[in-house]
Structure 1
């Protein structure tokens, strides 16, 4: 019997090739899209869960309360970790990591390793990063010890064994021994590095005594707790520890630290303190919903398209029942056909997944999976999903077909009933509700991305080339030599550029009451040309000037408007001439600059200070003419090699660099758009199925109307009006739901658009047009059919 059912299923598929193609394509595309989104969601949820001790690993973050604000930072002071280990037996081990950028040389080969990580000796004990060569217990113990990833090592050693060899670090050419070779760090790790350097290199060579600095917050700290330790109970003991170890210093500086433990498995998606890699739980929720929606739409399509064809098989069912076929036997046959159809869709899904996965990896910006064929689990998941969909989606059509009364069918009079019609219409409403919601969401996402790209940032970033000298002694000479090049408009030096990160500085600023108020201000060291070059406006006082070079290099500060508000001034002018103390410097505020976005638009503008500190510059920013840009860049590179020959030349354009902050949102927008288009296309197939079914049911009515003089346009309007009503109902359902979820999504942005009424109007009209085009294809075909042929069916 099974063999017979299988043969009949294949014959029906082949006999109705176009129908089968549409049905299978919709199902395959739906399963593929759902599968990709599911892989993405699972990948995002998997961050840092590959560590075997993940349940016992916690990151220590800090809330620092000052008289001005509470600072939420992912760092701790350098002294916290070793002293926590001394005071609390519950802690098995600790690891501090700190990102840096080291110049590495091996013979004539030299690279600036931007992804350098200083790490304590227990790094490989706490984390499951695989060391291919070297001893994990000692690889990061001795000063000047280096561990490379496989990819980084090949740059210096090719395929040779790097362990035991020597490289030179930093501009001082400090010899360092390669003590290990590790696999490239997993994509789903929030700890990223191409090279590890032993923490003792910093604490014993480059910055001796940093281990004892309680007020210097520059390390990310991870604790491995002993088995059975309650992390929350341990955290309650930290205030007494901070008071004991650093209470007097905290009161003197008016900076009070609160230590918080975060499970490492929660850091990527749930931390409010930031970190080297940060995900968005909101995006995970959105994509999860989209995946369910797409799969639901595909299943609805399957039901509607199969039911639409049921009328064509009514006589077959009637004859089978007359010759003795039982209802259960007929139902099992049609469910079997549904499963066969889904298995064909499964094969196509596997092919689509293999072909499209590299494109999906590129679109998501991550290697979600190297390939589904590398993991049998993926194939089994797709197979199981296809079979389950075949069984569940085939039940309703099977029950409908097997319930036809043979006498009524063979007489040519039958109906699937108002309940069946209501169900099919409800499914179409569900489909288009989802589709309209996705259209609304896509427009809002696009508008938010466009808003972020085009918002006035308060500074100039166009045609700005930035180079990091890493404090090389030749930086001043390089700046002077570049100024005279054709195509170069202006040159300045600084410690930071907008979007590039900056240092927080312990500051004491005179407030409106005349007291020195403690605050942690972002700090830029800049030269005299910086403000003019970046077109940052001064709203009170004056900019830095060479006319006051003796005082401006040691006793002058400029604040932004947000900083002025922090210290209680109602107008920028009130802050001019007020005192400051910052990092060993004392002086007066000489100017107030207009607020500009030096961080992502996802963050509020924060208080910022600027000082001229001639020894604090690393970056050289060059404003270039857009004309003949390649020649200008080549000339700049030639000057670099002439003046700073010991460092590799590299540069970036500030506008591109600043926009990198929005890469995650841009990728989210692209993914959302692509999956929304897929969902809408699949929904249209479902609408086409219902239109086909309805038109077939009304074949004789259409023939009679034509004989009586009805026009083609009138018949098309008649057939389309019911479906337009369904789309209208979908719009009414989708609009408030879409508004709610997109409003929640926009809350992640400090600067965001307002959701305008026209978004819903455009979405509704677009849905109507798409639906009308889809329906009209079938309606026009029916309206143009010869009425004689229609009436013959009577």
Structure 2
């Protein structure tokens, strides 16, 4: 019996190839989109969950409260985790990570490694980073011990066994020994290191006694709690712990610390403090909802397209019943056909996934999946989903088709069921609500990205080339040598550039009341040419100048936000006021206009600037003539090789560097756009189904109207109006819904675009335009039909 059902089903599919292709493609595209989004959602939620002890690992974070502000930091000072583990019995172990960029050399091989972490020896006791060689307990125990990732080991040593071999660290060439090789860290990890250096190496390299410096932040600390420990009860013990260990120091410095715990599994998606890498749970929710909607649309299409053929197959059903077929047999026949179509769609979906996964990885900017067959469980779920869709989506048309009365349909008097037509129209409205919402969402996302790219940042980043010398002692010599290169219009040395990191300094600034007010200020170390090169506007006082000898050690420039922080109504009022910062004392000599030195997702913070002599300049900014970039680059590289030959030539353009901050938003926008287009495509197939059904039902009416003299345009208008009403209803429903959702999405941005009514008008216009194309293709075809064809059965 089943064999017979499948044979007849296949014949019907083959008989109506065009209809079957549309139906199968709609389902296949829907299942493919759902599968890819499921991969993305699962991948984002899997960050750091593969560690065996993940449930017991927490990130230690700190709020730093001063008389001026409270800083919600994602880092701690060196002693915090170490002494917490000593004093609080609930803590089983801890590890601290300090990211860095190191020059590493082996013979003639030299790399400026950016994925470097100084780490405690307990790293491999907390995290599951399997060692291919070396001991987890001792690999990072001794000074100048280095653990390499598998990729880094191949880069430096090829096929040789690297254990016990030497590498030279930094300019000084500290001789370090490779004590371990680990597997490459998975993509779904917050921190991805290629080189791990023992934490005790810091003491030897830089005489950095971090274990006793409670106010020196920079470490990312993780605690391993003992099983069954309540983290909230442990958090309640932190105030007493800090008071006991560093209470007097906090009172004297007027900087008070509050420690918190964040579950390792929640840091990537849920933490508002940031970290090595961050996701956005709202984006995950958005894509999960989009996946469900796309799948829903695909099912709706199947129902609409199947019932659209009800009239064509009415006589078939009537004949079957006349020759003795029971209703249950007819129902099984049509459900079998439905399931078969879904299984064909499943096969096509697998093939589409094979082709699209590399492109999907590219759009996501990360290796979401290495291939569909690496997810056998997902394939099984997709198969079961196809069967379920076939069953559920086939039930309604099967019941409708099997309920036809043989006498009625064989006389050609089958008429549409009002309730059925209302249901199909409702389903199409749902489809276009989703489509219009996605179109509007795409427009708003792109508008926000364009807003961030085109916003006046308060500085000029165009045609600025930045050489990254990583604090090389000869960076100023290099800068002076390059100044004479043809095509170089201006040059400056600094420790920071907009869009990059910068140190935060404990500072005391004389406020409006004449008191020395404490604040933690980001600080830029720059030279005389930095402000003119980036065209940062001065609003009061003066810039750094070689005409004033004290500027190198006793001068500071603040931005407008810093001036407001210390209570001054006018920038000029801050000129001449005293400051104390990192052992340097002097006076405020100038105030600059606020500029965005961080992403537009955060508000402009108070900022201080000091002359950077002896403070690790490192970055050489060059204003380049746009007509001679390639020639200038070759000459600049030649100067680099002459002056600092031990370092690899590193450079970037300031505009591209700043825009890297928006990579995740750009990827979100690209993915959103692509899935929105898929949803619209599938929705058009659903509309095509309803238009086809509706025009088929009205063939006789059309024939009569044409006989009575109606022209084609009149008939097209008549048939199109009902469907355009559906799109307009969808627009009215989708607009307030998407306005609310996208307003919530924009809350993540400190500086955001406005959501204007024209966005929804444009989204509706696009949807109406698409609908008109689909509707027109069917209605014109119906209007052109010879009335004899539609009336000959009368």
SS across alignment from 1:236 = helix
Question: Is 1:788 matched up with 2:788?
Answer: yes
CA distance in 2, matches of 1:785, 1:683: 26
Instruction: Determine if contact 2:469/2:650 at 8 Å carries over to the other structure.
Output: no
Unpaired segments ≥5 residues, structure 1: none
Match of 1:256 in 2: 256
Instruction: Determine if contact 1:203/1:211 at 8 Å carries over to the other structure.
Output: no
Match of 2:135 in 1: 135
SS across alignment from 1:522 = strand
Match of 2:47 in 1: 47
Match runs of 1:219-298 below 5 Å: 219-298=219-298
What's the Cα RMSD here?
Answer: 0.9
Instruction: Determine if contact 1:525/1:611 at 8 Å carries over to the other structure.
Output: yes
Match of 1:669 in 2: 669
Match of 2:644 in 1: 644
Unpaired segments ≥5 residues, structure 2: none
SS across alignment from 2:521 = strand
User: How far 1:416 sits from its partner (Å)?
Assistant: 3.9
Instruction: Determine if contact 2:457/2:596 at 8 Å carries over to the other structure.
Output: yes
Match of 1:655 in 2: 655
CA distance in 2, matches of 1:626, 1:158: 41
Match of 2:527 in 1: 527
CA distance in 2, matches of 1:717, 1:101: 68
Match of 2:570 in 1: 571
Match of 2:427 in 1: 427
CA distance in 2, matches of 1:152, 1:158: 9
Match runs of 1:74-153 below 5 Å: 74-153=74-153
SS across alignment from 1:720 = helix
Match runs of 1:159-178 below 5 Å: 159-178=159-178
SS across alignment from 1:121 = coil
Instruction: Determine if contact 1:400/1:416 at 8 Å carries over to the other structure.
Output: no
Match of 2:73 in 1: 73
Instruction: Determine if contact 1:700/1:793 at 8 Å carries over to the other structure.
Output: no
User: How far 1:130 sits from its partner (Å)?
Assistant: 1.4
Instruction: Determine if contact 1:506/1:583 at 8 Å carries over to the other structure.
Output: yes
Match of 2:588 in 1: 589
CA distance in 1, matches of 2:331, 2:118: 66
Cα deviation per residue 1:298-338 (whole Å; 9 max; x = unaligned)?
11111100110111111111111122222122111111110
User: How far 1:793 sits from its partner (Å)?
Assistant: 3.2
User: How far 1:493 sits from its partner (Å)?
Assistant: 0.5
1:635 to 1:727, Cα distance in 2 relative to 1, 3 A: same
Match of 1:776 in 2: 776
Instruction: Determine if contact 2:510/2:578 at 8 Å carries over to the other structure.
Output: yes
User: How far 1:602 sits from its partner (Å)?
Assistant: 0.3
The number of residues matched between the two structures is 793
CA distance in 2, matches of 1:473, 1:424: 74
User: How far 1:473 sits from its partner (Å)?
Assistant: 2.2
CA distance in 1, matches of 2:329, 2:478: 86
Instruction: Determine if contact 1:339/1:391 at 8 Å carries over to the other structure.
Output: yes
- Using the size of structure 1 for normalisation, the TM-score is 0.99
User: How far 1:131 sits from its partner (Å)?
Assistant: 1.1
SS across alignment from 2:553 = coil
CA distance in 1, matches of 2:443, 2:21: 31
CA distance in 2, matches of 1:715, 1:415: 20
Tell me which moved more, 683-692 or 149-158. Answer: 149-158
Cα deviation per residue 1:731-758 (whole Å; 9 max; x = unaligned)?
1110100100000001000000110111
Instruction: Determine if contact 1:720/1:779 at 8 Å carries over to the other structure.
Output: yes
Instruction: Determine if contact 2:495/2:612 at 8 Å carries over to the other structure.
Output: no
User: How far 1:624 sits from its partner (Å)?
Assistant: 0.8
Question: Is 1:558 matched up with 2:557?
Answer: yes
Tell me which moved more, 463-472 or 641-650. Answer: 463-472
Match of 2:348 in 1: 348
User: How far 1:573 sits from its partner (Å)?
Assistant: 0.9
User: How far 1:204 sits from its partner (Å)?
Assistant: 4.0
CA distance in 2, matches of 1:686, 1:301: 4
Question: Is 1:196 matched up with 2:196?
Answer: yes
Match of 1:206 in 2: 206
CA distance in 2, matches of 1:208, 1:355: 52
User: How far 1:83 sits from its partner (Å)?
Assistant: 0.6
CA distance in 2, matches of 1:97, 1:386: 47
Instruction: Determine if contact 1:143/1:205 at 8 Å carries over to the other structure.
Output: no
Match of 1:56 in 2: 56
